[in-house]
Amino acid sequence: MITDPYDFSGRVALVTGGGSGLGREVAIGLGKLGASVVVAGRRPDPLQETVDAIHATGHRALAVPTDVTDSSQVNALVDRTASHFGRIDILINNAGISGADDPDKAVWEITDEVWHRGIDGELTGSFFCARAAGKYMVEQQYGKIVNVSSGFGYGTQRGQVMYGVAKAGVIQLTRVLAMQWARDNVNVNCIVPGLFHTLPEDMEKPIEERSHRFIPVGYVATAKDLVDLVLLLCSDASSYMTGENIMVDGAALIGAYAPWGYQPLTPTPEA
């Protein structure tokens, strides 16, 4: 019998954006499987709630309020993780600050400041975290990094500029870091979610009613549709996968050639 790849006892995980949504679910999932978990994010209260939830399962956790776009805060976060729990094995680059894009603005109205805010929130923060954590991972010759991109990193829509560019950057950042650390037993992979509900209250939004028009599977995902894949990518069950960007979008991009419901039928071809 091979060692259980989902036994994370002795492993230390850092989850950014760990106060809500996917980050919270992944942090709790890793904790349940035995990992010690540091959760980072801007707002202290939600972080503490995640920590309390992990403590309730009998595992170790620590909240470290952090703005991932500030590299000095990120470096302090990673150093604190390593000093508090002794190492850092897993990084979930989940924090993202959307909202810089304004669909009503022309491209030439995007100021330098807004451009940088959009790129930094979604891309630079992930680089800062990987840069700091990767140093420990390469030194210990073990690490798993999971980035979170978006279907908008492949396809795009009108009015969206920085978000898509940054998320495409996360996809290539995944490949670049995977290549840099492929010889150091550090795997870097990325999930590419389509539309999913971040918070329980999102379920009430009208998007749920419209989702059947453009999501082939017919529903909007929740964090539980993503968590087990992230756990797979954090585990040694995927140790020969690296640099991979995995679509989790209910076939939305595969089906983005025509509206759902378009089902042409032609006569049987002549033999």
Partner 1 sequence: MSPAPFNLKDKKTVLVTRCGINAPVLAAALTDAGAILSIVHPEGITPPPASASVPWFRDAAGLQPAVSSAMAGMAGIDILVNDLAADFAKPFADMSYEEWRTAIDQNLDAVFVSCQTASGRMLAKQNGRIVNIASGLGARTVVNEAAFSAAQAGVIHLTRALGLEWARDNIRVNAIVGGWIVDSDDALPDKVRRYIPNQRWGRPEDLAGVLVYLASDSCSFTTGEPFFVDGGIMIRT
Catalytically active residues are 163
> Residue 130 interacts with partner 1 (CB under 8 A)?
no
Angle separating helix axes 162-180 and 125-140, nearest 10 degrees: 10
- Contact segment (CB under 8 A) with partner 1 among 39-47, 63-71, 117-125, 178-186 equals 178-186
CA 13: distance to chain centroid?
Answer: 14
Positive or negative torsion for Cα 242, 245, 248, 250: negative
Residues 209-228 touching partner 1, rule: CB under 8 A, are 216-218, 221, 224-228
CA distance 47 to 129: 17
Q: Which of 19, 250, 259, 271 binds partner 1 (CB under 8 A)?
A: 250
Tokens of 139: 């030194």
Q: Which residues contact 32 (CB under 8 A, 6 or more apart)?
A: 57, 59
CA distance 174 to 238: 15
- Contact segment (CB under 8 A) with partner 1 among 15-23, 41-49, 86-94, 242-250 equals 242-250
Q: Find the helix or strand (DSSP H, E) in which 38 lies.
A: strand 36-41
Contact characters 88-127, partner 1, x per CB under 8 A: ----------------------------------------
Residues 5-64 touching partner 1, rule: CB under 8 A, are 5-9, 29, 32-34
> Residue 142 interacts with partner 1 (CB under 8 A)?
no
CA distance 61 to 50: 9
Binding footprint of partner 1 on the chain (CB under 8 A): 1-2, 4-9, 29, 32-34, 175, 178-179, 182-183, 194, 196, 216-218, 221, 224-229, 231-232, 235-244, 246-251, 254-255
